[in-house]
Amino acid sequence: MLRTSAAFFLFIALIYVQSALRASDMDDAIALKNEAMEIFRANAGKAVAPEMYAQGIRKLERAETLLESAAKVDPEGAAPLQREVASARFWAQRFANVKVAEALRGDKSKPTDDSKTPTPPVKTEAPTAEVEPAQHKTAAESAIGVAESVDKSAAQLMKDGKQAEAAAKLLQALMSKAGTNPNKIAELGDYFFSLGRFPVALDYYKQLVKESEKRLGADDAFLALDLNKLADTYFQLGNYAQVEPLYRRILSIRQKVYGQEHADVAQTLLDIGECNTVMCKFDQAEMWLKRGTAMKEKLFKADAPELAGSHLAMGWLYQSRCKFALAEAEYRKALEISERAYGVDDSRIVPSLSSLASFLMSAVSKFDEADILLNRALPIVEKASGPEHLNTARILFKLGALAYFRDSSDTTKCEEHYTKALAIQEKSVGLESKEVAITLKNLSAVMLRSKDYKRAEELILRSQSIFLKIGGPINPDVADSYLNISALYYDQKKYADAETMAQRALSLYKQLFGLEHINTIRALLNLSISISAQGKYPQGVEILAQTVLLAEKILPQENPLFALMLNNYAATLRKMKRIAEADKIEARAKSLPGNEQK
């Protein structure tokens, strides 16, 4: 018989959005980074006093020191800023001349030749007196300060929480002024990005890149820093077709500036690989990730913590390809490296603990070990960050996901963990953040499982409204929401409505990813099931046949989606009295792993 909701695809999120930067160390690091970048941007392409240039480098070094401390409290929040500051320091030291190097050492005893460019020094031990003490302004206070220098009425809008209106007014004011200040564009873009207002940040970063290209040229090393902001924003918006060309351009610039083997070159190779993973271009992804990992292994010690991220990326790739033994080995290697580098009770191991737990629960059903890992992580983050911190919410969120995967008959624990996580998120980042929207989406799935359809619909619609507000109408989160609404309607036997929602999801996925992507395949599967449930079997079979062909192109046959598609394909053919074809499809389905139909 035709499979019903058991075969209907529903999105349960496990990957989490980058957390906002809140702690004072990170706020101070942001301020120092912005001050350094102001020096470098203002003097790009110009002769600059060695002392001033050296001061910019010292600010970046001080920011790195603060971020090392911040990472012990919020490793996932600090990591993107650590990468940005390190890249900026690589750039600054690459172009420091001998006089700058002497200024960093405090050696002014002999004249030097400005034309010489020494090897960039390792982090200096500069006198701390030369770097102003941090003022402990929050990132929001600093951003409002920048806004007030541009347009006081826009700054007031920011204070009133009218971020979108303020952002548009500020960007217009910045563009209308002669001698546009690119650093103000960058600082405001960074702030809106940290709020999860990615379409707004995108407008700022597009303008930033345009200004930098105008001032510096299309292949300048400094431009790579701004291109990286633009690429990361497109990534958050799910516009991966725009991401990969930007990362390739960044790679070309960095290889030209730093040579073929450099930490920033290695990281960019990994970025390209991860982009290809999410686009389901698995062969290309593996090539890029292996190149980046090999380079990092050559540049760093074998047990250096910098390698943990490479193994996590490889783990995600192998998990996506259903090569679960290889994936598990990579996730365990990442955890082993982190524990060796930081110790078994340090919060910096939590990203690796959490990633391994997510894999174990969602891919190989090792629920007991996932439970042990998450309950090991929870007291670590509570001690390091506090019980009301977003990191704590992140672990509670994954405990909710574990309960969902582990036991379909009992939703109590699942709902309890998600509700606790949601309360922390709403208190920490407000009612309209991406983190809140993701938890609402998962909580809606719990309500659907318990047949509380009214509550499920309220939660998923609230989640979708947040995704629309912060990411715009064309992004994967909105498409995922349509797919979940489709599942909700299908479960209530509202098949026509389910078809409409699946069609909307499909339209967005095709626009974002094209046909050859796993999310497009999921939407096609839901669409065909909804159509067949209305008795429109020929149309349903046609879509299923197309879906199988697409899946054969990009997915390993170990993927459970194959069994779901073939089971539904065979059942629909039987409804049409095409028994011989159904038997053939069913025989193929029975030969695949993950097929639950007997």
Distance CA 190, CA 139 (A): 9
Q: What is the largest CA-CA distance in the chain?
A: 94
Q: Is 596 exposed, middle or buried (0-12, 13-18, 19+ CB in 10 A)?
A: exposed
CA 261 to chain centre: 26
Counting as low any pLDDT under 50, the low residues of the chain are 1-7, 15-16, 18-22, 107-134, 596-598
Instruction: Give, rounded to a whole angstrom, the gap between the first and last alpha carbons of the chain.
Output: 11
User: C-alpha angle with apex 317: 314 to 321, nearest 5 degrees?
Assistant: 140
Q: Which residues are CB-neighbours of 211 under 8 A, at least 6 positions away?
A: 180, 182, 185
Determine the 3-state secondary structure of 354 from DSSP: helix
Per-residue buried b or exposed e for 531-558, using 16+ beta carbons within 10 Å of the residue's own CB: bbbeebbebbbebbeebbebbeebbebe
Q: How far is CA 409 from CA 404, 405, 406, 413, 455, in A?
A: 9, 10, 9, 11, 18
Distance CA 335, CA 330 (A): 9
Q: Residue 409's pLDDT is what?
A: 84
Hunting for tokens 């999921």 — which residue is that?
522
Q: Give the DSSP letter string of 214-233.
A: HHH-TT-HHHHHHHHHHHHH
Q: Residue 575's pLDDT is what?
A: 94
Q: Residue 8's pLDDT is what?
A: 55
Distance CA 62, CA 32 (A): 7
Q: Residue 12's pLDDT is what?
A: 63
Q: Residue 408's pLDDT is what?
A: 83
Q: Are 93 and 101 in contact, with CB atoms under 8 Å apart?
A: no
Handedness of CA 501, 504, 508, 511 (dihedral sign): positive
Does pTM surpass 0.85?
yes
Q: Residue 141's pLDDT is what?
A: 85
With left for phi above 0 and alpha for psi between -120 and 50, is residue 331 left, alpha or beta? alpha
Name the token pair of 410: 């009992």
Top-tier CATH class for 495-598: mainly alpha
Report the number of secondary-structure helices (H) and strands (E) in the chain.
27, 0
User: C-alpha angle with apex 140: 136 to 144, nearest 5 degrees?
Assistant: 105
3-state SS track over 471-513: HCCCCHHHHHHHHHHHHHHHHCCCHHHHHHHHHHHHHHHHHHH
What DSSP designation does 349 have? G
Q: Residue 21's pLDDT is what?
A: 43
> In the chain, what are the domain boundaries?
495-598
Q: Residue 116's pLDDT is what?
A: 37
Q: How far is CA 514 from CA 50, 320, 485, 508, in A?
A: 51, 18, 22, 9
